Structure 1
């Protein structure tokens, strides 16, 4: 709901439990008024009537109060917008009007000197408290002779203003390859803290999400502000703790202020969405609100449950052929697997990682009839069929690179850096995108493919574009090229699901969530390590898109740890369950146990992938657990990595249940009273090391 007051110069957006208000001064300064619990227009007008404290020496009354601070004028906070033309930097804007529909408010401004038109977008969808913000910038001159190009040095999507508190605490997700999405919370000290990526993709080091609280919020109580950026390239979020105790956070595409793109007369560019959320229900309520918003508005076909998959990589590596894939498919189908995926090695001369990347046609020696015979057999076995691709990369030893070496990102006269024996194709180029469209479209038309695992295994290092008048735009245009290619493929092949992957969790963000069906969370499949990775991932993203695999033990890729099959399964059942082990080495007893775990997962899948998440106990050496609630059912997944001193793990106090109701355990029988489960807790009976189990509860109706 959007309401207007203050003689048409005050706006209030209201969600389910929160409100967001802003106003325009007589000098056309757009100031932030309120972000917190729901208020009325009259409340917002009272806030607007309050006198702004006089600025102390060397300070500005605008700092920390402006909705979208720009470079220029009496401002000293980090600007969200920096523009240059004819050697003149900065912006001096004037209000140009507003418009609104039921869910989106648009405020228009313009800069006379640069002929720059700016529109601030605010969107609050029905049934949600998430505020989606973005900015559209337009070179208002329509003919080239009427103006010079505008250089966008920096154009953040939004600035978020938080009120003064005695102290702020910042939460964010950090890590590296194999250790992504680890949650850290620390006091926000005076000054500025930056997180982001300089790699050309979202990156393993940080996810584009932050949360701020006054140091007193818990999992299920306390005021929490959160912000998340929907961008899959280099990015930056700057959190500024200002002298008066307030906080302002700005964020958007690009890792620095050296330039995003040129706007020629008549051109426009719209930033990615930078979304914000306020809650008074702690970090758990914040996560549940983010999850519900993504399932309802962001994730494609979120109402469809993601299938249990099998991926053949660990079983075969690059030694892929049709006969061996058929054998694995038979074993996978017997377990109850619903999607069979052939990973790297099916195409071109791809017998190792230094050749064939970019040649997306089946290897004729390994697949004499192409992929169709295998796909048909997989379908006959009752499973969907998928393949791995890495369209944005190329090996120098490939037919594609030999024909088009200029298609790879590079700087003229400089050595081309190879990581993983590969280079990055420049998807900002029209011809590169046209070629990839033709190859991928032919792949999907040539065989009944239901699923693509879209990988991205290398960061930008030589992001050059010789001959382009503004090569800096590659950093932005490559990402938009990926979006355009994915959107086109999905429109032409709506039945094909896509998994986003980047050497694990190197490209996890809201923009990829909007274009793919699930995300590969990490290459680390060790079930103990995964508990912390999945705990961090869940702060923003729902289990519906969190791919998690059961792989072989010992975990040879990461740490050599031995873990029981049951612990591995329960760890992976917290997301979209997959199996990635070498089934030819599993014993008959292991295969039978795996089949039973998959059956149990399918029974709780609607809860995991579509329910509300409660993080009951965080990861550690002791008992950790999560709970999913949907309607009258609940599923509890509990893990005990290590038992200390022979002590019984504490009962799990459950959430989201009706205290007046009774609940039956669908796996073990017996009943529990809701009041007992929520107050005293559920006893898991776990003991020893690396123990885990699942508890599926259903409310009893009637007598």
Structure 2
């Protein structure tokens, strides 16, 4: 954070150019750092940093931050004891988005008696799963005055953030993981420039949730530019929790017949469509050649996709195009695969394509883009199930090789979108390990988690409101024939916290169960305006465990005149609890489950709701 080389740079220029604040620092030898700050929304700024080598020598970078927020807090004349807290967001498989709040004191960042001593708490992620441990979002809050500063990075590979302290000044900065943390170095030739990843920063007089909404709002323009079909947030059915990686044409068409009358729009064929029907085959070891196996699709994928479209559904397909696995022919194409220390990099059963290799570009054009186009698929689920770790070979080192690989990932996404502009893309990475801005802005939605059938689904789904636009957060409800209406309602209610995705034993559901699912889908369609345009507030009392949750949770997502309320109870909920609507003049216009709710003005009351129960309410302001 505080490098001695930075001290050589002095202010050379500061101007406003077309609404962009441009600041240039120079060292007198031809080296410049240019920072650009522009408006990215009503309450958020875009921060960009560029290094320019105007000298006659090569320069090696070991750190280049994307943003730095300093002077926190300006509301205290002293070192602000017991008033600054740091909010960060943890990520683990099937447990994404837990907010962790630490005081400056707890992080051991109190000002020391010799104030100039530099203190730092650094965190981040190393590898090609950018949300593996932490989300690239952090906030500082002055709890005495209720002001929150926050930042969000757009980076698909290794990154870092730091909370630092020197004298009274608390600083939040971040960008690419540096040499020490992420093995990154970059040679900049004379006359060349290098840009750090984009970041967004905000400051609000309000809550953490309000600051997070400002940071996430920068994804809205990309979402609004999606194919027209996405405007209505169509419901998805994914066959994964039906076939468990062993899809077949006959079963898929039976599913299509069952779900089309319910109001589902997308039917996604998940992993395994390329492997033989054999006890020795497994979806994870056979991926990479991307050719449908005739034992599963005797008429070919084109015929299956056409049959799905005949039933009024949009066919979707799962792929993991950046990886190949050990039972594929491509696994042995070692001249075109990534290496580390001169050896082909193998991650368990997978290897990774060198996305800068023209052979690989042609391969993906043929095996991915052409297949999707010719077979008539309208939806692509791009998965990514293993990290590349600390990096891949490059003359500047493993960290720069990994950073460039991230650029290759962006190019691949952009190439697919350019070739198939009406294609709806979902991203997945062992659940939510790719929930970062640069990839979210290149997709319609993302798997929120691999938590498919667990009781903590509504907790994870609500937590992600701080980090992902709900209309991009795909939440699963897995249906079973032995589900009670209460159990089915619990799962369906959680999907109202984002994008509804169904799976499970739909072929075995009785008419009453199917009718309930149809009611939920019809209500979900009515809730779309709130999901797309609302602002979220999370309330409740939840114990420390997500796996064994106690208490209750409520999420209110509302526009000025229309709202959605989703309530879940867990173990040992209170006998009575209340949810307050924003302002006055609301009336309940629809509910999903039998769970009793009473309204008194802006207050919704729930009495004796019982354990693991749920309710979804649509509310509208009285005219």
Report the TM-score, using the length of structure 1 for normalisation: 0.77
CA–CA distance in 2 between the matches of 1:567 and 1:262?
A: 54
| Structure 2 equivalent of residue 188 of structure 1 | 104
CA–CA distance in 1 between the matches of 2:608 and 2:314?
A: 36
| Structure 1 equivalent of residue 369 of structure 2 | 441
| Structure 1 equivalent of residue 69 of structure 2 | 160
Q: Is 1:317 matched up with 2:250?
A: no
| Structure 1 equivalent of residue 137 of structure 2 | 209
Q: Is 1:410 matched up with 2:339?
A: yes
1:180 match: secondary structure: strand
Deviations 1:294-314 (A, max 9, x none): 324666439823211000011
1:460 match: secondary structure: coil
Q: Is 1:579 matched up with 2:502?
A: yes
CA gap of 1:433–1:563, structure 2 versus 1, over 3 A, is farther
Contact 1:230–1:510 (CA under 8 A) maintained in structure 2 = yes
| Structure 2 equivalent of residue 140 of structure 1 | 54
Runs of 4+ in 1 over 6 A off after TM superposition: 560-563
1:72 match: secondary structure: helix
Contact 1:136–1:269 (CA under 8 A) maintained in structure 2 = yes
Contact 1:407–1:432 (CA under 8 A) maintained in structure 2 = yes
Deviations 1:487-542 (A, max 9, x none): 12212211111111110111111111211111111101245312332232112322
| Structure 2 equivalent of residue 607 of structure 1 | 530
Q: Is 1:340 matched up with 2:267?
A: yes
Q: 1:370 aligns with which of 287, 294, 300?
A: 300
1:151-300 paired onto structure 2 within 5 Å: 151-164=60-73, 165-166=80-81, 167-189=83-105, 190=109, 191-216=119-144, 222-244=146-168, 246-254=169-177, 256-257=179-180, 258-296=183-221, 300=225
CA–CA distance in 2 between the matches of 1:650 and 1:393?
A: 49
CA gap of 1:363–1:232, structure 2 versus 1, over 3 A, is same
1:655-666 paired onto structure 2 within 5 Å: 655=582, 657=583, 659=584, 661=585, 663-666=587-590
CA–CA distance in 1 between the matches of 2:60 and 2:244?
A: 47
| Structure 1 equivalent of residue 521 of structure 2 | 598
CA–CA distance in 2 between the matches of 1:433 and 1:269?
A: 24
Q: Is 1:506 matched up with 2:433?
A: yes
CA gap of 1:256–1:565, structure 2 versus 1, over 3 A, is farther
How much has 1:150 moved relative to structure 2?
2.2
Deviations 1:4-63 (A, max 9, x none): xxxxxxxxxxxxxxxxxxxxxxxxxxxxxxxxxxxxxxxxxxxxxxxxxxxxxxxxxxxx
Q: 1:479 aligns with which of 402, 406, 414?
A: 406
CA–CA distance in 1 between the matches of 2:34 and 2:542?
A: 44
CA gap of 1:677–1:233, structure 2 versus 1, over 3 A, is farther
2:605 match: secondary structure: coil
How much has 1:248 moved relative to structure 2?
0.7
Q: 1:532 aligns with which of 455, 459, 468?
A: 459
Deviations 1:319-349 (A, max 9, x none): 2221121111112213221110000011266
Q: Unaligned regions of 5+ residues in structure 1, if any?
A: 1-67, 75-90, 142-146, 669-673
Contact 1:152–1:260 (CA under 8 A) maintained in structure 2 = yes
Contact 1:300–1:514 (CA under 8 A) maintained in structure 2 = no
1:106 match: secondary structure: strand
Q: RMSD value over aligned CA atoms?
A: 2.9
Moved more, 178-187 or 529-538: 529-538
| Structure 1 equivalent of residue 286 of structure 2 | 356
Deviations 1:163-219 (A, max 9, x none): 2333311111113112121111121231322221112220331101111112358xx
CA gap of 1:328–1:664, structure 2 versus 1, over 3 A, is closer
1:362 match: secondary structure: coil
Q: Unaligned regions of 5+ residues in structure 2, if any?
A: 74-79, 110-118, 544-549, 593-597
Higher strand share: 2
Work out the number of aligned pairs and report it: 586
How much has 1:364 moved relative to structure 2?
3.1
